[in-house]
Amino acid sequence: MQIKKLPNAFKEAQQVLQIIEEHGYEAYFVGGSVRDTILKLPLHDVDIATSAYPAEIKQIFVHTVDTGIEHGTVTVLHHGQSFEITTFRTESGYQDYRRPDQVTFVRSLKEDLMRRDFTVNALAMRENGEVIDLFGGISDLQQHIIRAVGNPSERFHEDALRMMRAVRFGSQLDFTIEAQTMAAIKSNSPLLEKIAVERIHVEFVKMLLGIAPLRGLAQMLQTDLLCYVPVLNHHLKQLAVVSELPLARQLENETEVWSWLAVSLDWSVAQIRTTLQAWKSSKQLIADVASVTAASQSLLTDQMTDWQLYQTGATNLQTAAQLLVVLGKPDYSQELARRYETLPIHNKHELAINGKQLMQAGIKPGPQLGQILNQLEQQVVAGAIENEPQQLLDHAQSMK
């Protein structure tokens, strides 16, 4: 196959490939960028693989950074852009089901492509657009199939994360997983326990952000992969129901993903915290998901109070409104934005009095001061008192 017009993302990189070739080595575009070019999808990152060893790449280019030199990756800075260039390599050992014991640099493109996970990810492309397809990747792209390169069971033994990647690419590309690859996932699913939860997390979220997330979830159930992930393994029955409820549109960000799960499984704030901690999520994500979920649950049942609007904040309110759209409910985003705008204050700092001023007026520092400030904040938000210094002070005095 020959790609006639390469997307612009390859323009500068084409020169880098030419320079490597002028020095007598081979260089190719590999991985996701080749797959997505053939599928006419937008590109994320352009990976380059070469027969030159890292030391040789560093001799060719003036500005380089040793980003992952032990794996053969050197970053080359060329005309103000950076390119990751990785030496062809083979991997062996995989005694822990997740990492090779040994990485060996090789001169052969074929050996490099053989270690890649799926046929659609094992394509290489020359600088002139000629595609090298040694494992039937183009045919699988055309038939919308995810198929392991070589023996699927062996490949999942080498690196069990690949099982999650199969489901992830299936959802992202809306491809089916080939029967033997699927069977090998089912028989090897317990190996997922060997994989760090952070890595499973990345693939799981990418899967749910894909265009076929419900099928991804259903496949994780069918293959038992879901039995080996934290907390969700205790909700298999409910997740089976969730995987059959249609989504009105695609999920758009990670907060939406987890809030969708939390609302669908009717989680409390405590359950959200336990689950997301088990999935090694950031504090910010946990706070956002708790807030969006609570807001969505209120929107689904009754009206939201002004205090809840205020506490949720503009961004999370919009995410909650979008989540309702995903669930096939009306779009409340404009109404919520309007209500939020008309709140008397939008954060603590907008309160017309602060702790220092209260102390000057004779209120002692300590927990009570905090409680009074909190009360004032709530009363102002609820419209019970005006955000005006004297009124706030009078009110504070009456609470002493």
Instruction: Tell me which residues touch Mg ion (CB under 5 A).
Output: 32, 45
Window contacting ligand ATP (CB under 6 A); options: 43-51, 56-64, 256-264, 387-395 = 43-51
* Annotated binding-site residue? 32: yes
**Position 46 contacts ligand ATP (CB under 6 A):** no
Binding partner of 147, given Mg ion, ligand ATP, none, CB within 5-8 angstroms per partner class: none
Based on the shown chain and the rule CB under 6 A, indicate whether residue 159 belongs to the binding site for ligand ATP: yes
162 is in an annotated binding site: yes
Q: Taking each helix axis as running N to C, give the angle between helix 179-188 and helix 213-222, from 0 to 180 degrees, rounded to the nearest 10.
A: 60
Question: Residue 203, interface with ligand ATP (CB under 6 A)?
Answer: no
Q: Quote the least distance from Cβ 336 to ligand ATP, whole Å.
A: 33
Q: How many CB atoms lie within 10 A of CB 362?
A: 9
Residue 210 interacts with ligand ATP (CB under 6 A): yes or no: no
Each residue of 60-79: b (16+ CB within 10 Å) or e? bbeebeeeeeeebbbbbebe
Q: What secondary structure letter does DSSP report for 2?
A: B
Q: How far apart are CA 346 and CA 114, in angstroms?
A: 56
- If one asks whether residue 201 binds ligand ATP (CB under 6 A), the answer comes out as no
Question: How far, in Å, CA of 352 to CA of 349, rounded?
Answer: 8
Query: How many CA within 13 A on the CB side of residue 362?
Result: 7
Q: Residue 147, interface with ligand ATP (CB under 6 A)?
A: no
Element (H, E) at 50: strand 47-50
Between 45 and 66, name the residue whose CB sits nearer to ligand ATP.
45
| Residues 246-305, interacting with ligand ATP (CB under 6 A) | none
Distance in Å, CB of 115 to ligand ATP, minimum: 6
Q: State the virtual CA torsion across 169, 171, 174, 180 in degrees, nearest 10.
A: 60
Q: What whole-number distance in Å separates Cα of residue 172 and Cα of residue 216?
A: 9
Nearest distance in Å: CB 317, ligand ATP: 30
Nearer to Mg ion, 32 or 100 (CB): 32
Residues of each annotated binding site for ATP: 32, 35, 116, 159, 162, 165, 168
